[in-house]
Amino acid sequence: MTTTKELLERAKKAKACIYTLTEEKKNAALAGMAEALTENAEEILAANLLDLEAAKDRISPVMLDRLRLTPERIASMAQGIREVAALPDPVGRVLDRRIRPNGLTIEKRAVPIGVIAIIYESRPNVTSDAAALALKSGNVCILRGGKEAFRSARAIVKALKTGIERAGLDPDLVGLVEDTTRESANELMHANGYVDLLIPRGGASLIRACVENATVPCIQTGQGICHIFADETADPGMALDIIENAKTSRPSVCNACEVLLVHEALAPSFLLLLKKRLVDDRIAAGKMPVSFRLDPKAAEIVEGEKAGENDFDTEFLDYILAVRVVKDVREAVAHIAAHSTAHSEAILTRSEENAAFFTASVDSAAVYVNASTRFTDGGEFGLGCEMGISTQKLHARGPMGLNELTTYRYIITGNGQIR
Amino acid sequence: MTTTKELLERAKKAKACIYTLTEEKKNAALAGMAEALTENAEEILAANLLDLEAAKDRISPVMLDRLRLTPERIASMAQGIREVAALPDPVGRVLDRRIRPNGLTIEKRAVPIGVIAIIYESRPNVTSDAAALALKSGNVCILRGGKEAFRSARAIVKALKTGIERAGLDPDLVGLVEDTTRESANELMHANGYVDLLIPRGGASLIRACVENATVPCIQTGQGICHIFADETADPGMALDIIENAKTSRPSVCNACEVLLVHEALAPSFLLLLKKRLVDDRIAAGKMPVSFRLDPKAAEIVEGEKAGENDFDTEFLDYILAVRVVKDVREAVAHIAAHSTAHSEAILTRSEENAAFFTASVDSAAVYVNASTRFTDGGEFGLGCEMGISTQKLHARGPMGLNELTTYRYIITGNGQIR
């Protein structure tokens, strides 16, 4: 077994080559990775079967489904790598260039970050996605997946390394942590001098642990208590469509809506329509109905469970919607400032003034006017892909695509200038 | 006395207004701040005298001089604020804009970071500089200066608040920590939910304490073990000029050169010229000579003290230069990767190939070809000003001007789009 310490040393060694990697080399490695995944599909599926066997009584059916690989899923992972290869190279972009009065040329150029460690859950496809994004952006990656998917991840990384080596690059550009205990996550959090960026992708407790303990730079991702505010002038039909979509199209994801704020002038009529759409119509259509958590004013208007103490601070990730009636857009903005995780929020309105005030005042990564919060996603934003969705303010905010996996360097060229 | 906790609460409250501040309002506040500084010069000088009295036997003459205010220095602080006011507004810049096939308009817009806490040393002028930069970039700032300068800082902040209030803005946009014990620095490091960014400006121990302990986002600044590599093909005259400038023009600052690497083919002749320039000529001219710390190969060529164990990992901030002879540009790059703080490094060469390899491979904030490392500075880079020089890779690297004191937000406008 490779220890995490050894893995970190190897990653540091592999880093020496990244700053001079050409686009061609990187794309050749990505092509090799995709090819090797397909070639080694049987071995990967066999490892995955062992993971599924070991996990079957210990995790939920939903989790088991996420863990399961099929020939089609492996083909789609390979296709994902090819799509990343086809994206523009984020490295080498000239972000700014100026010639100073003293003749110095100052160029601000995008460069890789270095070694990126990613802690994630038991989804085998994240292993190849993350490796592809890291490699395309010129970074070394250290992957630390969930223990339920370890055998699958090991088989996948073995194949990826074969592909990288075939392209003549250092297979240590991608590394897998073999220790799946908490200790290895802890080692990554404190690997100063080895890890240039730590990206925790997972539940609230993992992210909190990283924020509180990590001494290496860390980007928080993916917690979303997303709000929709239906203003007095909202189009009710559009509002119903957007709210149903944001709440029910995929309740388990971070860009799903958890809290609805309704203008008090709209609430009396709208909440009844909302109950019909989210509860009655869905039951009639054989779909999962939404369960409300109502603040006192909303409870006066519509049937449903009353909100408990924490319901406006909970990422339900379920068919549950907290509902509060507010006086106006200012109260909506104040509520969001107090309760949001700064992921995605939307205003539904026909008032340009309120839309402008909302988008200026709500300090979240993505602020929507008359659209579903579900669009906060690298692909939907046109970034081509994403490593995660940052909910912090430094470095990157919202979907992190390839550009967000780079930093920059000033390169200054002179002919003897002194100060 | 205002407790740090109360100060944090006030800053959080002041934050509510920042996202809708106009450029005109901010510039009016900056003009008011400059005016009030001048008007209250006597009060500030009186406070400064008390600081000087209290500190005179406890700090070095150099530190005392940095602490001292004069009418001219106050006028220059006011002028500095006016210059910041004249810079372009970094907020509201549209960093990217795209219309998606589904009709969504996605705009990436620069916004303030929020509350920025700055921990700095006993230089009164930093108080007004930092406040001006924070205000111009739309941020609330919490200033925590060194205890020797506390009375001066309090008088300065009092004047700044008068100026802000006169422009009709919340004086709590600028706050001063009144507790000058370590405890308040500790409170700032753990003020999650209050402090959006912590910038420690100061010695290595403060920065290490922040990196190790802070749970709020933090940017490391200002430690510079800067290297110059004189390649085989360096022009000796230019090299002497650049090295003397980088080492001696201001040895106490972070962009001063601490380590010289010399190509083995150049070393035999060059080190003798260097000793003449940095030692003999300087003594003859009545200037402070430079003291060498020589690796074994350099010591065979030139007189000087042999390097001790830590001399290639020390920020001397003094007339001391560590010198090592290297085989080639690759060995120079490897030495820098192992010993640098990633601040500023330079190659002196006539080889385009080696210059390209060096600038591509050295992963520091600023990498120079044939120029002095002393240029790493917001003003010299044409940013107009700086809050500090970041030596980390996330968010901002190198001199942090106004743009680097902003983050961004995606604003997405639709007409009912769902996913």
Percent of chain A having pLDDT more than 70? 100
A178 CB within 8 Å of a chain B CB: no
Residue B194 Ramachandran class (φ > 0 left, ψ -120 to 50 alpha, else beta): alpha
What percent of chain B lies above the pLDDT cut of 70? Answer: 100
Task: Kindly determine whether residue B242 and residue A382, on different chains, have CB atoms separated by under 8 Å.
Answer: no
pLDDT in tens, B47-57: 999 999 999 99
| Among the ranges given (A19-23, B136-140, B162-166, B216-220), the one the predictor scored with the smallest mean pLDDT | B216-220
Q: Out of A112-126, A399-413, B367-381, pick the least confident.
A: A112-126
Give which of B151, B153, B178 is closest to B54, Cα–Cα. B151
A392-396, B32-36, B39-43, B174-178, range with the lowest pLDDT: A392-396
What is the pLDDT averaged over residues B357-374? 97
Q: DSSP states of A31-73 as a string?
A: HHHHHHHHHTHHHHHHHHHHHHHHHTTTS-HHHHHHH---HHH
pLDDT band per the 50, 70, 90 thresholds, residue B338: very high
User: In degrees rounded to 5, what are phi and psi of residue B114?
Assistant: 130, -115
A201 backbone φψ class: left, alpha, beta (φ>0; ψ -120 to 50): beta
The structure's pTM equals 0.94
pLDDT at A1: 85
Please check whether residue A397 touches B, CB under 8 A: yes
pLDDT score of B211 more than 90: no
% of chain B exceeding 90 in pLDDT: 89
Q: Who has greater pLDDT, B220 or B236?
A: B236
pLDDT at B222: 78
Cβ <8 Å between A382 and B106? yes
**The predicted structure's pLDDT at residue B246:** 98
Asked if B412 and B245 count as a contact pair (C-beta separation under 8 A), the reply is no
Percent of chain A with pLDDT over 90: 89
Strands A291-294 vs A389-390: parallel, antiparallel or unpaired: unpaired
The residue type at A61? P
Question: Please, which residues 236-265 of chain B have a Cβ atom closer than 8 Å to chain A?
Answer: 238, 241-242, 245-246, 249
Q: How far is CA A152 from CA A53, A132, A166, B145, B375, in A?
A: 12, 17, 21, 53, 51
Per-residue model confidence as pLDDT tens digits over A192-208: 999 999 999 877 888 88
Q: What's the pLDDT score for residue A389? A: 94
Residue B177 has pLDDT above 90, yes or no: yes
Question: Encoding tokens for residue A137?
Answer: 């952006």
What pLDDT was estimated at residue A211?
83
For helices B150-166 and B23-39, what crossing angle results, to 10°? 130
Give the model's confidence band at B305: pLDDT under 50 very low, under 70 low, under 90 confident, else very high: very high
Give buried/exposed letters for A327-357 (b at 16+ CB in 10 A, else e): eebebbbebbbebbbbbbbbbbbeeeebbeb
Supply B370's token pair: 């044939």
Closest to A261 (Cα-Cα) out of A367, A336, A368: A336
Per-residue pLDDT, A262? 98
Q: What are the tens digits of pLDDT across the range A63-86?
A: 888 899 999 999 999 999 999 999
Least confident of A274-283, B101-110, B214-223, B255-264: B214-223
**CA-to-CA distance for B112 and B11, rounded, in angstroms?**
14
Contact A366/B113, CB-based, under 8 Å?
A: no
Query: Tell me, what's the pLDDT at B123?
Result: 85
Supply the pLDDT for residue B203. Answer: 78
User: A142 pairs with which residues across the strands?
Assistant: A117, A175
Angle CA(A119)–CA(A122)–CA(A126) in degrees, nearest 5? 65
Q: What is the pLDDT of residues B226-263, one digit of tens each?
A: 999 999 999 999 999 999 999 999 998 999 999 999 99
Question: If contacts are CB pairs under 8 Å, which of residues 283-342 in chain B contact chain A?
Answer: 334, 337
Query: pLDDT value at position A207?
Result: 86
Q: What is the mean pLDDT of chain B?
A: 95
Return the residue in A412, A413, A415 with the most chain B beta carbons within 10 A, the one to mutate for interface testing.
A412
pLDDT of B46 = 98
Q: How far apart are CA B413 and CA A355, in angstroms?
A: 9
In chain A, what residues touch B375 (CB-CB under 8 Å)?
Answer: 104, 412, 417, 419
The whole-number pLDDT of residue B206 equals 85
Average pLDDT value for residue range B204-219: 87
Q: How far apart are CA A81 and CA A91, in angstroms?
A: 18
